[in-house]
Structure formats: structure tokens, C-alpha cells
Amino acid sequence: MRHTHPLPGDIGLTQISGVTGQLIRFGQWINKDGFADYEHAFLVLPDDRLLEAEPGGARIGALGRYGGANVLYVCPPGLTERQRTAICEAAVSYTGVPYSFLDYFAIAAHRFHLPVPGLRRYVASTRHMICSQLVDQCYQDAGVHLFADHRWPGYVTPMALYNLLAR
């Protein structure tokens, strides 16, 4: 479900410019998630704040940071106020969790069925997360499972969120 005015617990999907955004976009395409221009996901928190995974670690910031950006706000249909509160409470607990570019390679290795020992455990780890993994984990912690396709925990890209919630 799409929203124009974000509510706590909503997911923001947006673009990343430059080489980093192009690499993520290409990686999502290789992963068969499509080639639309959403390379970053964040979680809307109360009081016009957000939680997002960044190279320096997950951080809480001002939602206004994306005021002029092309942001698509989505959430699963039927999300209750209690679930929204639980998602936001879970989000706060992940502040400072390190970002890991290696998660992109791990997701690609899984996609190509490469026999990497410990790969499933690495992708599922909450000790390091990319933006879309962080969003999905906050939902899972609140008892809301976004994906019903039996994917590995943590096997989530921004485009996977777009494909699930915005189409």
C-alpha cells in the first residue's frame, strides 16, 4: 500500500545517486528484483524521525532529510497501530548496528547458489545489515512477516520491498 504522508512504521524507498546507487541498482537487477530506481530503504519513526542503515551504522535522523527527494512511502495493508508501535520500538534497538557492503555480495552468492560455508547465517545476522535488511528485521521483531515466500531471513533488497508493497 502506498502513502503520500508517512506514518510511523511506514517504509520509505528512495534513490541513491552516483556510483553507489548504480552498483546497488545493478545488484538488484542481477538478483532478479528489477531495475527501478529505488536503492535505499528507511523506516519512519514518530515525531518526524527515521531509522536508516548507513555506512557509519544505523542511525536515527530527521525525516526532513528526504523532504526534497523522490520518496515512495509504503506499508503492508492492514497494519495496526499496535504493530506500528512495535515496529518503531524494535527500530530504536538497532541504532548503531554496523552497515555491511558484504551483505550485497552474500545476497548475490545466495542468488547464484554459490556454495559458501556459513552463508545463510551471515545473511541472517543482525550484527550487520544493509538498509532493507534493517527495515525487514524491525518488522519481523514486531511479529509482522513481510515475505511469505520462505526466503532466508535477511535476504531483502530495497527493490524486493518495492516489488512486494508498491506494485
Mind listing the pLDDT tens digit for each residue in 67-88?
878 899 999 999 999 999 999 9
| Residue recorded with cell 514486531 | 142
| Alpha-carbon span 61 to 83, nearest angstrom | 21
Q: What pLDDT band is residue 2 in, cutting at 50, 70 and 90?
A: low
- List Cβ neighbours of 22 (8 Å cut-off, separation of 6 or more): none
Q: Domain limits of the chain?
A: 2-165
Residue 15 has pLDDT above 90, yes or no: no
Q: What is the mean pLDDT of the chain?
A: 86
More confident residue, 22 or 142: 142
Give domain 2-165's CATH number out of 3.40.50.2300, 3.60.20.30, 3.90.1720.10, 3.40.228.10: 3.90.1720.10
**148 within 8 A of 76, measured Cβ to Cβ:** no
pLDDT at 119: 86
pLDDT at 73: 94
| Alpha-carbon span 116 to 152, nearest angstrom | 15
Sign (positive/negative) of CA torsion 32, 133, 2, 37? negative
* 40-58 confidence digits (pLDDT tens): 899 999 999 999 998 889 9
DSSP-derived letter for residue 112 is T
Whats the size of the chain, residue-wise? 167
User: Cell for 73?
Assistant: 512511502
